[in-house]
Amino acid sequence: MKIVFYLHLHQPWRLARFRYLDLGTGKPYFDIDRNLDLFRRIAANCYRPTLDRLETMLRQDPRFRVSFSITGTFLEQAALAAPDVIERIQRLVETGHVALLSETYYHSLAFLLPPPELEEEVALHQQRMEDLFHVRPHVLRMTELVYDDDLARFAAREGFSGMLAEGWEGPLRGRSPNHVYSSVARGVSVVLRNYRLSDDVGFRFSARGWTEYPLTAEKYALWLSRSPGDVVGLFLDFETFGEHHPASTGILDFLSALPSAVAREPNLEWATVEDAVRVPPAGPFVVPEPMSWADENRDLGAWLGNDMQRSAFDAAKKAGTFARSSHDPEILSDWRKLLTSDHFYYMYVSGKGADADVHRYFSSYSNPYDAYANYMNALNDLRRRSLAKSRASH
């Protein structure tokens, strides 16, 4: 059994408070100081200690492998707030045992926009990976693990050999997520997330009411060993280690102990996503409608599930026409930062349950209505700037 251990690194550019009265004043949309302060705090709790642990693991066990996807907005903030975080990632990549994935530069919903936005964002991200890490990724990961047949075809056109997706029961039709599958696009394999084993770490690790608490590396390796199949995808948010679960829970020690625990199980070995896509597919994986790794429904409802979210996204889509017509790089960059999926995630409305709790945990607003109003004010100002720039250039 090959273990694909994949971690996602992302930070959005969160909006400043932008009132209606701020329209036309030139006030920045994004609260730079707050974003960078937050990044520095998470770097201290999570990024530095976890990257240091991973480097030690890679040095001590040449069989260990890990894969990363890193958004462009994360790298922008890291460069300003904690450039040593980028240096740490560079050292890991230099070991040759780390794979990097491609995705949308802005962690955006560009896949729902007409061309060429998705193509341009993926190209921007590819270039960033080459500039910083001297690597050109061959596997594509879409924002929030969104996947469908059309995106597989896009991946094929762009020359990717694989994509990641959620190992959800619907498209699997009774089959195991612990295999590589073939997409509808020739030459593009799909590596699936085993959401149960992934969530045992991502969500349940520090839950004292969980029947398997406490989770040790030895117990977890045994579960992996007994899991049927040939490839198991453990896909996690990087901030699982030290941020969502503080170091005091033992999460970093659990991580450090994994390679030795896995080494004691003779049927287990580590693999990168690029190793995994070379495994012969076990069968077809057909997904006509988009699915994601978010919420219980695994669809696009986390970002487009209510009228506010759909209204905001439709307005953003229309604003893109004006932003592009302005031919102003700063306006285009601001528009793309406003396409980041987090802004729509903050507008999620639900009363109770695990999904609502997760949305509230990640939101920077007291309620989704404030998130919507703030976003629309900024978007309307960007539309005004775009029109003014277009008129001035004619």
Question: At a CB cut-off of 8 Å and minimum separation 6, what does 65 contact?
Answer: 5, 97, 98, 99, 270, 271, 272, 275
Alpha-helix runs per DSSP H in the chain: 32-42, 48-60, 72-81, 83-94, 117-133, 149-157, 169-172, 195-202, 217-226, 251-263, 273-276, 301-304, 307-326, 329-338, 341-345, 354-362, 368-392
What is the DSSP secondary structure assignment for residue 16, as one 8-state letter? P
Cβ burial, residue 310 (10 Å; 0-12/13-18/19+)? middle
66-70 and 2-9 as β-strands: parallel, antiparallel, unpaired? parallel
CA atoms within 13 A on the CB side of 263: 12
From the candidates 103, 117, 144, 239, which is the catalytic residue?
144
Q: Which residues is 284 bridged to in the sheet?
A: 182
Q: Is 144 a catalytic residue?
A: yes
**Phi and psi dihedrals of 92, rounded to 5?**
-65, -45
Q: Which amino acid is at 92?
A: L
Q: Which residue has the tokens 């460069």?
A: 79
d(CA 164, CA 159): 15
Rg (CA), the chain: 21
Q: Which residues are catalytic?
A: 144
